[in-house]
A and B are shown apart, each in its own frame.
Chain A
Amino acid sequence: MSTLIIADHDNQALNPATLSVITAAKALGQSITVLVAGSGCGAVAEAAAQAEGIEKVLLADSPAYDKALAENLAELVISLSSGYSHILTAASTTGKDFMPRVAAQLDVGQISEIIAVESADTFKRPIYAGNAIATVQSLDAIKVITVRGSAFDRSAATGGSAGIESVTATAANDRSAFVKEELVVSERPDLTSAQIVVSGGRGLGSAENFDLLARVADKLGAAIGASRAAVDAGYVSNDLQVGQTGKIVAPDLYIAVGISGAIQHLAGMKESKVIVAINKDEEAPIFQIADYGLVGDLFEILPELESKL
C-alpha cells in the first residue's frame, strides 16, 4: 500500500507545510505519491518532484482546481484514491476544507491535525485547544489525515527526482463558484492575534527608545506590547499594555525586552508558546518563565538583533 499526499500551494509555489506532511508520511514507511491539483501549477509539480523521498507526482492541471474549491478537489481525490491506504494533506484552510469531504465520500473517519505518527494506524492530535493530547487509532481501511505543519520538521525540498504524471481532471461542480479574494496587506499585526509579540518595559528608558523595539518588531512582522511600568512612564499608549489589567496575549513567540516580570505582566503573556527574555538584571523574575534568556544591555542587543534578522 502507499500514501497519497495532496500538496498545498498557490499555483506558484509549494507551501512548505507540505514538506512537513512528507515527514509525517515518511513515518508510515510506504511509498509516497504527491498530487498537485491546480491551474497552471506545473512549477509546483516540478518542485514537488524534487522533494526528497517522493515516488511519483500526479499533476491535475485544470481551471476546475484554480481556486481550490473543496467540491472539485474532493471529487478529484476520490477518483484517484484507489490503491492508497493513507491520504494526507496539510491542515491549512484548504486542507481542512476539502479533506473531510474526501473522508465522508470514502465512508471513513478523518483524523484531524495530527502532531505525531505513532504507527500506521495510530496518531497523536491535540484536543481542547491543545490542553490535552489524544492518541487516536483509526479502524478504517483508508486513513484520511490532516497534518499540523508546525509539529513536523520539513523534509528536504531537493534531492528527489520523481516522475510527473498528468491525470485526468474531474468535472468542475456547478454549485459553488469563486467570486474574489483579498490578501491581507502587511501592516503591523494586532497585539492579541499576532504570532509574534515584542514587548518593552521600563528598561527602555524613554518613548524614543521604543523605536529600537519597533524596528525589531518590523523585521519579525511582530506586534508591539508594553509592561504596565512602561505605560505608566508614558513611553507608549495604554492600549499596548500586556498584563492582567491590559491585553492577554498568547503568541507563538513573545520577546520581553527590559521587562522584569511583575506578576501582573506574567498573567498577560505566560501562555505564549515560546518566551524570550532580554534583561540586564540576571535576577529578573522574567527569566524564571522564559524559554530563552539573554542577559545584557538591551541598547546593544536590540540593534544587533535588528541587523541580524
Chain B
Amino acid sequence: MKILVCVKRVIDYNVKVRVKADQSDVDLTNVKMALNPFCEIAVEEAVRLKEQGKADEVVVVSIGPKAVQEQLRTALALGADRAIQIETEAAPEALNTAKLLAKVVEQEQPGLVLMGKQSIDSDNNQTGQMLAALIGAPQATFAYSLELDAEQVVVTREVDGGLKTLALKLPAVVTTDLRLNEPRYVKLPDIMKAKKKPLAVETPDGLGVALKQHQTVLKVEAPGQRQAGIRVDSVDALLDKLKNEAKVI
C-alpha cells in the first residue's frame, strides 16, 4: 500500500511570534522554519506503518516556494521514500491546498492519506477534512491511535470528553493529533541518504488547478496584554468575578 503524507513548512514552534508593526502579518523574516509538528507525527506514523510491513511506499507532498524542499528533505530523512513539491509563491489557503492535494491523490492513488490535524501557523484545522470531501473519501480527524490493514483503517480519535473509534474503508484520510506517536529524531546517516531520494516538482498549472482567493486577511494584531490585576475583598467577590467576568468556573 502507498501512503501519501501531506506536510507544511511553518514557523518553528520554539519561536516567539511577533506581529509586524504595520499589522499586515506576523513577522516571518529571519525566523526559523520547521516541519509542522502535527505533520511530523503524520510522517512518523507513515514510516512506522512501512516498518511494520503494512505499507510499501511513503510519498510526502508539500506546497509552497522552493524553501519547502527543506521540510520535504526532513521528511525523507525521517523515512519517506520520495517527495513532491507543488511550487507556489506562498502557502495557499486551505481549500486551494486541498484541491492541489486531491490532484496528487488522483495521480498517486494512495490507500491512505495522513496529515496533521492543523498547522501551528494558521491553526485552521481544515485541510484534511476538505481533501476527504473533495476525493469522496471517509475521514478520521484527531487520530490518537490507528490500526491499518489491507481493506480498512480503524482510528481512535481524540474528541471532547474522551475517545471515539471509527472504522474507515480505504482509501481514507486521517489527520493526526499529538498523542498518536512521538516522532523520532533524524539520524545523521539518513540526512545524507535523504539528499539522494527523488524529489519531483509540480505546479498548480501542471496539475490543472486554478487557485482562487476565498479570504483576505485585513489585519493581524497582537493579543491583548494581561490587565492589571484587581483586589477582591471576599471569597464571594472572587467567585463572582471568576464566574461572571473571567468565566473560568
Whether A93 contacts B229 by the Cβ 8 Å rule is no
Whether B121 contacts A127 by the Cβ 8 Å rule is yes
Which stretch (A48-56, A136-144, A230-238, A242-250) binds chain B?
Answer: A136-144
A215 CB to closest chain B CB (Å) equals 14
Which stretch (A28-36, A155-163, A175-183) binds chain B?
Answer: A175-183
Q: Give chain A's interface residues, CB within 8 Å of chain B.
A: 67, 69-71, 74, 92-94, 96-105, 107-113, 122, 125-140, 150, 173-184, 195-196, 220, 252-253, 273-277, 287-295, 301, 304-305, 308-309
Interface residue range, chain B? 35 or more
- The 8 A CB mask of B81-99 against A (1 = contact, 0 = none) is 0000000000001110010
Whether B124 contacts A112 by the Cβ 8 Å rule is yes
A228 CB to closest chain B CB (Å) equals 23
Partner of B163, one of A177, A182, A220, A295: A182
Whether B130 contacts A103 by the Cβ 8 Å rule is yes
Whether B218 contacts A130 by the Cβ 8 Å rule is no
Whether B161 contacts A183 by the Cβ 8 Å rule is yes
Whether A183 contacts B214 by the Cβ 8 Å rule is no
Partner of B164, one of A67, A175, A309: A67
Whether B221 contacts A181 by the Cβ 8 Å rule is no
* 10 smallest beta-carbon distances between A and B, as pairs: A109-B214, A100-B129, A176-B138, A104-B130, A101-B133, A104-B133, A100-B126, A179-B165, A253-B248, A175-B138
Q: A103-B126, A133-B221 are in contact. Are A177 and B213 (CB under 8 A)?
A: no
Whether A293 contacts B130 by the Cβ 8 Å rule is no
Q: Does B22 interact with chain A (Cβ within 8 Å)?
A: no
Whether B164 contacts A181 by the Cβ 8 Å rule is yes
Q: Does B107 interact with chain A (Cβ within 8 Å)?
A: no
Tell me, in angstroms, the Cα distance from A154 to B133 when the chains sit together: 32
With a CB–CB cut-off of 8 A, which chain B residues contact A94? 159-160
Whether B93 contacts A109 by the Cβ 8 Å rule is yes
Whether B216 contacts A176 by the Cβ 8 Å rule is no
B154 CB to closest chain A CB (Å) equals 6
Q: Does B16 interact with chain A (Cβ within 8 Å)?
A: yes
Q: Does B182 interact with chain A (Cβ within 8 Å)?
A: no
A280 CB to closest chain B CB (Å) equals 13
With a CB–CB cut-off of 8 A, which chain A residues contact B141? 70, 93, 96-97
Whether B235 contacts A295 by the Cβ 8 Å rule is no
Tell me, in angstroms, the Cα distance from A151 to B16 when the chains sit together: 23
Q: Does B231 interact with chain A (Cβ within 8 Å)?
A: yes
Partner of B230, one of A112, A134, A220, A293: A293
Whether B129 contacts A131 by the Cβ 8 Å rule is no
B157 CB to closest chain A CB (Å) equals 8
Tell me, in angstroms, the Cα distance from A277 to B126 when the chains sit together: 39
Partner of A104, one of B129, B217, B219: B129
Name which residue of chain B comes closest to A137, CB basis: B216
Whether A110 contacts B230 by the Cβ 8 Å rule is no
With a CB–CB cut-off of 8 A, which chain B residues contact A301? 235
